[in-house]
Structure 1
């Protein structure tokens, strides 16, 4: 029988400042909670400016980190990193190669980027706590096609980049609005504004049937109401899920990770397509599913005795001062989760520690590290998390400034 096993997971880590010298008591409390894990996991929400150089590939929302930021994460206790996210390509292929080299040299378990598509899709695999652990990491966009890794083909060299879960975002509109768009599109084409030129650098997105229209890069879908549709490519998803099945079949502990920016208008709501894919990952053999993207804490679901963390918000969030859109307090509040498994691989408990980046004052000047939340703030974080999670049948027992997910209740429902 294998030894008992613990996986601790956090919000995403956009780190650009070295925080190793910070000794705040409540930050050290967070680190102590983290380090109880055999696997300590976060999403490295950045790219490394290193030996391969690079150049900015986007405008305002551009970020990169120095290699020593990885040392800071390692000092905190992290040993597992997802690298698939919207900032992974901010320095282009050069940044991907630098990040790979720096992560490899430090021995992190990692996944999500690669020298080509085949390499980017490969899971990271290491032994931790007596278990072989396979980490799968994917990004579902939206993002430009050239940020995603591509294999060599006839006439095309390979491209280093991000591991993609292929999705298409479509905007649903009413019949009347769809008819207006179709008429306008026809008038524009008559004026020689052909679609292909305006889709570059990507290829035009295919449409299905007469009820869809590609309007210069945005696909509109005729329906009864205005809404957004996110559709996962079934063939591509099948490749990811088959790889998880193979890892689980050989006895690995499988951690599945998804990053995306297809947020709901209410950021703390869970998109239906994410729930469907998360459950498919568990069906394929994943023992835990973690997602980031929306910079807020969403919910947790227990599905077939496996935790699905739909959105863990932020753990480190070193954004430029001019990005004022992150003023909402929910952006700076999250939690850290410790998932404990017995020797047979069965989930035994999930403990939760609420955190506030910068502490209860939450001023921009001190938002460098997360501190363990206290008092009313801790209760608000946990109560909000419990309320959102109850929609998925998850019960959370709150005790002061900490909480535990009720596994007995979930198993009774199952």
Structure 2
């Protein structure tokens, strides 16, 4: 018999301000909710400017943090963080090395970046509560090839970077469009040198002859309808799943984490490829699956006794005020979920605390500068967050009960409806 165990998970933390001096009794309630967990987990959606220095690797959406924000996360109650995300490489390899150094100093359970590919793929492992906890963190892009960690070869030095789950984006087009694209590509790509110049820093993608074309780095495939296709590389997935299996054999409690930006047109819709990968992780032995990327709350599923949080949106979201695309209220609303496991190691209850970054009074305001920390949602706003979550999770066979501005999920209350079929 295993001792009782609890894991609290939140939305991602894009934190650039030290928030330890925030004086708000409402935020204190969130902190108390967090600190009930043996594991308190978030995604650190940034990179540290430290002693290794660094330089900007992108234009818009570039950002970094000082090491003091890690102290702030620690003070709030976080003891486990994922580091695999699109901002982890904003300062290049030097930022990765500084982040590793500063996170290690503070004794976080962490995973997702490394000094090379082997190091980045390694699961973090710590004794937390009465369990050994292992953490796998991967990023599926889209991102440039040079943000991902790479091992040393005879002709290449190692590259610090992000732990990659290889995912290929393709566009399916009908036969007429495909033929037109093929003719246009033939006209434009008059020489191998021209294509090679525009491939940098990416290598040309492999394509199936006759049914796919590489159009300056974008793969188009013949398909019955026009659509976007996301495919996980089986070899890449197998490597990560094998690591989960190995940790599960040691009887570790395994948390599997995925970050990606392959969002659906409706941000709150769960991509089928994500559902497929999440279930693979649980089948391999993960006791908890968490994903971030889309800045909104997505559905919850209970699969083979393990909770799957397909998208927890934002917990801390310190954005550039010039970025005006984050105005929808859904971006600033999320939940904090406390998952309890009983002495038999089985999932018991999931308690849900709805939160609003900056408070409900900020939702209708134009400024994002004052939206520093989440506070509990109340009344109609809390009920709206929970009812929306309940409606989306219902399609996955999960029932969310709502009472007094809180939510609850119990395995025995699962609906008998089947989750959407995988394609």
Pair 186,397 (structure 1): closer, same or farther in 2 beyond 3 Å: same
Superimposed CA distance per residue, residues 375-406 of structure 1 (whole angstroms, 9 cap, x where no aligned partner): 10000000000000011111110112101013
Corresponding residue for residue 421 of structure 2: none
Pair 194,82 (structure 1): closer, same or farther in 2 beyond 3 Å: same
Please say if 1:148 is aligned against 2:152: no
Pair 147,33 (structure 1): closer, same or farther in 2 beyond 3 Å: same
CA distance in 2, matches of 1:165, 1:74: 28
Contact 1:84–1:139 (8 Å) recurs in 2: yes
CA distance in 2, matches of 1:209, 1:33: 55
Contact 2:171–2:220 (8 Å) recurs in 1: yes
Contact 2:296–2:333 (8 Å) recurs in 1: yes
Q: What is the Cα deviation at residue 2 of structure 1?
A: 2.9
Q: What is the Cα deviation at residue 192 of structure 1?
A: 7.1
Q: What is the Cα deviation at residue 207 of structure 1?
A: 0.6
The alignment partner of 1:348 has SS state of: strand
Contact 2:46–2:88 (8 Å) recurs in 1: yes
Corresponding residue for residue 387 of structure 1: 391
Contact 1:305–1:411 (8 Å) recurs in 2: no
CA distance in 1, matches of 2:85, 2:191: 39
Corresponding residue for residue 4 of structure 2: 4
Q: What is the Cα deviation at residue 97 of structure 1?
A: 0.3
Please say if 1:407 is aligned against 2:411: yes
Pair 191,96 (structure 1): closer, same or farther in 2 beyond 3 Å: closer
Pair 322,411 (structure 1): closer, same or farther in 2 beyond 3 Å: closer
Contact 2:398–2:415 (8 Å) recurs in 1: no
Corresponding residue for residue 21 of structure 1: 21
Please say if 1:371 is aligned against 2:379: no
Contact 1:47–1:89 (8 Å) recurs in 2: yes
Superimposed CA distance per residue, residues 238-262 of structure 1 (whole angstroms, 9 cap, x where no aligned partner): 0100010000001000000000000
Q: What is the Cα deviation at residue 23 of structure 1?
A: 2.1
Contact 2:338–2:351 (8 Å) recurs in 1: yes
The alignment partner of 2:361 has SS state of: coil
Corresponding residue for residue 77 of structure 1: 77
The alignment partner of 2:138 has SS state of: strand
Superimposed CA distance per residue, residues 115-144 of structure 1 (whole angstroms, 9 cap, x where no aligned partner): 000000000000011100000000000000
Range that drifts further, 402-411 or 334-343: 402-411
Contact 1:396–1:403 (8 Å) recurs in 2: yes
Corresponding residue for residue 354 of structure 1: 354
Q: What TM-score does the superposition give when structure 1 sets the normalisation length?
A: 0.98
Unaligned runs of 5+ in 1: none
The alignment partner of 1:338 has SS state of: strand
1:54-65 counterparts in 2 under 5 A? 54-65=54-65
CA distance in 1, matches of 2:305, 2:188: 54
Corresponding residue for residue 328 of structure 1: 328
Q: What is the Cα deviation at residue 354 of structure 1?
A: 0.3
Corresponding residue for residue 221 of structure 1: 221
Q: What is the Cα deviation at residue 9 of structure 1?
A: 0.1
Superimposed CA distance per residue, residues 269-289 of structure 1 (whole angstroms, 9 cap, x where no aligned partner): 000000000000000000000
Contact 1:295–1:331 (8 Å) recurs in 2: yes
* Runs of at least 4 residues off by over 6 Å: 411-414
The alignment partner of 1:257 has SS state of: strand
Corresponding residue for residue 291 of structure 2: 291
Corresponding residue for residue 310 of structure 1: 310
Contact 1:333–1:355 (8 Å) recurs in 2: yes
Corresponding residue for residue 196 of structure 1: 196
Q: What TM-score does the superposition give when structure 2 sets the normalisation length?
A: 0.96
Q: What is the Cα deviation at residue 191 of structure 1?
A: 6.9
CA distance in 1, matches of 2:378, 2:111: 34
Q: What is the Cα deviation at residue 22 of structure 1?
A: 1.1
Q: What is the Cα deviation at residue 209 of structure 1?
A: 3.0
Q: What is the Cα deviation at residue 25 of structure 1?
A: 1.6
Contact 1:3–1:129 (8 Å) recurs in 2: no
Contact 1:111–1:123 (8 Å) recurs in 2: yes
Range that drifts further, 183-192 or 367-376: 183-192
CA distance in 1, matches of 2:210, 2:398: 42
Q: What is the Cα deviation at residue 411 of structure 1?
A: 8.6
Corresponding residue for residue 270 of structure 2: 270
CA distance in 1, matches of 2:357, 2:304: 33
Q: What is the Cα deviation at residue 365 of structure 1?
A: 3.6
Unaligned runs of 5+ in 2: 419-423
Corresponding residue for residue 282 of structure 1: 282
Corresponding residue for residue 37 of structure 2: 37
Contact 2:297–2:330 (8 Å) recurs in 1: yes
The alignment partner of 2:189 has SS state of: helix
